[in-house]
Amino acid sequence: MRTATIATFFATLQATNPQPKTELVYNTSFELLTAVLLSAQATDVSVNKATLTLFQLANTPQQILELGLAGLEAHIKSIGLYHSKARHLLQTCQILLDKHQGSVPDTREALESLPGVGRKTANVVLNVAFGQPTIAVDTHIFRLANRTGLAPGSTPLAVEQALLRRIPKIFLLHAHHWLILHGRYICQARRPRCWECAVASCCQFKAKTLSNPAL
């Protein structure tokens, strides 16, 4: 995808959704960190259902620790991998209290030192909670970046780095959400909804299907 086309691509997404937001429900940076940690290999819908009751009872590191492993698991057992996620969250809460006065740190290094927090989770927290122009490459963004020709790459890190290089700075803050929402609802894995796509004219995949219906 050419540079000028990339600008049109994001300007179009911006016009359709000027203020994109995460679909995870949260009120504080700690609630966001918790929700993102729980969302690995799970849907935002399932996480929101679990945190709806969890956050009413416990929404600080100290309160989560006071639940204990069994108490925490009881609230998140509907989410995949809840055993390991519960352990990681409890460990994270202890570190937040011991090293960060109970607050969520705003640096990548500190976030990635927390159990269960990888680069993608850290990028989400840095972007959503602290307004940093990061790109968290999940399965939707990885697929979309390669399919459209926006930022092809063989690994999530390669796609992230390509996106950061190619996206105009004016769009970087919200680019993560525009891409993930577009990949989740329009540029879907099995059957991309090209007939509903506002940026179809920018997309290499669409161009290929038009020129060769067999693809």
- pLDDT tens for 125-144 read 999 999 999 999 999 999 99
28-32, 110-114, 189-193, range with the lowest pLDDT: 189-193
- pLDDT tens for 150-208 read 999 999 999 999 999 999 999 999 999 999 999 999 999 989 999 999 999 999 886 55
49 tagged catalytic: no
pLDDT of 38 > 60? The answer is: yes
Residue 33 is predicted with a pLDDT of 98
Burial class (CB in 10 A: 0-12, 13-18, 19+), 15: exposed
Residue 41 is predicted with a pLDDT of 87
Sign of CA dihedral 189, 192, 198, 201: positive
Residue 15 is predicted with a pLDDT of 96
Model confidence band, residue 57 (pLDDT cutoffs 50, 70, 90): very high
Do the Cβ atoms of 78 and 50 come closer than 8 Å? yes
Residue 55 phi, psi (nearest 5): -70, -25
When pLDDT is averaged across residues 86-112 and rounded to a whole number, the result is 97
What Rg do the C-alpha atoms of the chain give, in angstroms?
19
Residue type, 33: L
77 tagged catalytic: no
Do the Cβ atoms of 38 and 51 come closer than 8 Å? yes
Domains in the chain, start-ordered, CATH in brackets? 3-20+135-211 (1.10.1670.10), 29-128 (1.10.340.30)
Point out the catalytic residue in the list 21, 77, 99, 138.
138
Point out the catalytic residue in the list 44, 99, 120, 208.
120
- The closest of 126, 138, 123, 134 to 173, measured between CA atoms, is 134
Q: Give the global pTM.
A: 0.89
How crowded is residue 45: how many other Cβ atoms within 10 Å of its Cβ?
9
